[in-house]
Amino acid sequence: MAASAPLKLRERKGAAAALPPWRVLVVDDDEQVHAMTGVLLRDFSFEGRGFSMVSAHSAAEATAILQTDPNIPVVLLDVVMETPDSGLRLVRHLRDDLKNHDIRIILRTGQPGEAPERDVVVGYDVNDYKAKSELTAQKLFTALVGALRAWRDIDTINRLNRQLLQSNEQLEMKVAERTAELVESHDALIRAKERAEVALERETSAKGQLRQFLSMVSHEFRTPLAIIDSAAQMLMMRATKVDSGMLTRLETIRGAVSRLIDLIGTCLADEQLETGRMIVQEQALDLAPILRAAVAHHQAASGGRQIELEMGRTTQVWGDSNLLPLVVNNLLSNALKYSKDTPVSVRLRASHGGVTLSVRDHGIGIPATDQDRIFERFYRAGNAHKLSGSGIGLHMVKQIVDLHGGSIALESTENQGTLVTVHLRTPPRDR
Ligand code: ADP
C-alpha cells in the first residue's frame, strides 16, 4: 500500500454527514495496512456518503463478520494470511457456501507471485486484483468507487426483483381469491339451476295434474249441468202456468248453470291455447252476426242491461269461428259484470288494414297499478274481489288475439270505466 499525502477526494462535505457511510471490510493480517487504509478512507466520499472501515485480521474473522452482516458492499482482501491461500479460500467460501454474490471483492496482495493475477481472476470470482504496491490513494479510491457502483446496481436490481416478486405474489393471491369467488358463484349458480329444475319439474307435474283435473271437470260436470239445465227448462214450461215465483227461481238456476258452463269452456280453451293443443282454423268470418248474437244473449242474461251495438261496413275478419266468439263474449261479460246500471257499448270499425272491435263500459275501472299484469293468467285487480271471477278470461282473450296476429289494448280509469280494443286482420283478399 502506497502511503501518500492526503488527497482532496471529497465530493460534497455537507451531505456526507446525513447519510450512513459506505462500509469497507478490510481483511489483512498486517495491522499497518488497517491503519493506513483507515486514514485514507477518512478522506474519501462518494455520492454524498463517507467511508467507514470494518477490520478483520484473518480469513476466519472475516467469515464471522460476513455471516452476521452480509450487506457489506465491498471487501479489500489480502491473499496470504493464516495460510498462503487463506484469502482465496475465503473467496470460495463467500461465493459458494455463504452464497454472497453481491459483495464486491478487491483482492489486494502483497506478494503477486503467490497468486498470479491471471490465474486468480479466471479461477476465483473476484472483481478486482491489485498489488498493494500499486494502490495509491487515488487508485484505491477509483477501485472502491468502481466496486461500489457495481454493488449499487446489483442492489437496485435485487430490490426491483424483490418488488417484482412481491407484486407477483400479490397478483397470484388476487387471482386465487377471484378464482375462489368464481368457483363459489359457479357452485351457487349450479345449486340455483338445480333448485329451478326441481321447481320446474314440480310445476310441470302440477300443470299435468291441473290439465287432467280440467278434462275430468269438463267431462264429468258438463253432462250433469246439461241435465240440470234441461230439467230447469222443462220445469219452466210448466211453471209459467202454475207458479210465477218458481219461474224466477228456475231462471236463476239456468243463469248459474250457464255461467258454470261458460267458465268450464273458458278454462278448457285457455289450457289448450297455453299448451299449444288448440289449432286455429282461420277463414273469412263475418263478425256482425256473432256480435248481434252475443249482445242479445248478454242483454237477456243481464236482465235487460242497455248494450249499444254500432258496426261499420267492414265486418269481415280473418279468424276462427269457434275462438273469436269467446273473445267477444268475455269482453262483453266483463264490461257488464264490472259496471252497474250504465250502458255498455260495442263498436266495430275498419282501421289500419283491419278492423277494431271496442267494448266500453262506465264501471269500476282497473287501478293503474294493476294494468300491467291484467292479462296474466289468474290475475285479478285489487278492486275486483267483491265480484266473483277467475282471472282466466282476459288471459285467454289475449292468447286468441295473439294467435290471430292481432293486438289488444286497454284504457281504463278507476271508477270511470274501461275501454278494451282488439285489432284483427281482414281476410287476405280485403287487405
Ligand atoms: P275475471 O273472471 O276475474 O273477470 P278476467 O280474466 O276476465 O277474469 O279479467 C281479469 C281481471 O281484469 C278482472 O278480475 C278484473 O279485475 C279486471 N277487469 C277485466 N275487465 C274489466 C272491466 N271491464 N272493468 C274493470 N275491471 C276489469
Q: What is the pLDDT of residue 431?
A: 65
From ligand 1's centre to the CA of 396, what distance in Å? 12
Average pLDDT, the chain: 89
Q: What is the pLDDT of residue 293?
A: 96
What is the DSSP track for 310-333? EE-S--EEEE-TTHHHHHHHHHHH
Question: 415 in helix, strand or coil?
Answer: coil
Tell the residue nearest (CA) to atom 11 of ligand 1. Answer: 380
Q: From the CB of 393, is ligand 1 less than 6 Å away?
A: yes
Q: Indicate whether 56 belongs to any domain.
A: yes
Q: Indicate whether 391 belongs to any domain.
A: yes
- Choose the final residue of a domain: 118, 135, 152: 135
Q: What is the pLDDT of residue 15?
A: 44
Q: Indicate whether 140 belongs to any domain.
A: no
Q: Indicate whether 83 belongs to any domain.
A: yes
The overall pTM is greater than 0.85: no
From ligand 1's centre to the CA of 330, what distance in Å? 9
User: Which residue of 366, 377, 385 sits with most ligand 1 atoms within 8 Å of its CB, as the best mutation to test the pocket?
Assistant: 366
Q: Which of 319, 416, 311 is nearest to 357 (CA)?
A: 311
Q: From the CB of 417, is ligand 1 less than 6 Å away?
A: no
Q: Indicate whether 212 belongs to any domain.
A: no
Side chain identity at 396, as an amino acid letter?
A: M
Q: Indicate whether 200 belongs to any domain.
A: no
Residue range(s) defining the domain that contains residue 341: 281-425
Tell the residue nearest (CA) to atom 25 of ligand 1. Answer: 365
Centroid of chain to Cα 165: 32
Contacts (Cβ under 8 Å, ≥6 apart) of 130: 106, 107, 108, 109, 139, 143
Whether 340 has a pLDDT exceeding 70, the answer reads yes
Q: Provide the Cα torsion 369, 370, 372, 376; round to 10°.
A: 160
Q: From the CB of 365, is ligand 1 less than 6 Å away?
A: yes
Q: What ligand 1 atom has the least distance to the C-alpha of 394?
A: 6
Tell the residue nearest (CA) to atom 16 of ligand 1. Answer: 381
Q: Indicate whether 48 belongs to any domain.
A: yes
Residue 118 pLDDT grade (very low, low, confident, very high; cuts 50, 70, 90): confident
**What does the pLDDT look like over 204-261, one tens digit per residue?**
888 788 777 777 777 788 888 989 999 888 888 877 666 778 888 888 898 889 888 8
Q: From the CB of 332, is ligand 1 less than 6 Å away?
A: no
From ligand 1's centre to the CA of 60, what distance in Å? 103
Higher pLDDT, 45 or 3: 45
Cα atoms in the 13 Å half-sphere on the side-chain side of 361 = 23
Q: From the CB of 363, is ligand 1 less than 6 Å away?
A: yes
Helix, strand, coil percent content, the chain, rounded in steps of 5: 55, 15, 30
Q: Indicate whether 211 belongs to any domain.
A: no
**What does the pLDDT look like over 20-76, one tens digit per residue?**
999 999 999 999 999 999 999 998 999 999 999 999 999 999 999 999 998 999 999
Residue 166 pLDDT grade (very low, low, confident, very high; cuts 50, 70, 90): very high
- Choose the final residue of a domain: 75, 108, 135: 135
- How many distinct structural domains can be found in the chain? 2
- Choose the final residue of a domain: 135, 165, 195: 135
Whether 4 has a pLDDT exceeding 50, the answer reads no
Q: From the CB of 130, is ligand 1 less than 6 Å away?
A: no
What is the spatial distance between Cα 75 and Cα 288, in angstroms, rounded to a whole number? 114
Side chain identity at 221, as an amino acid letter?
A: F
Residue 24 sits in a domain whose CATH number is 3.40.50.2300
Q: DSSP assignment, residue 260?
A: H
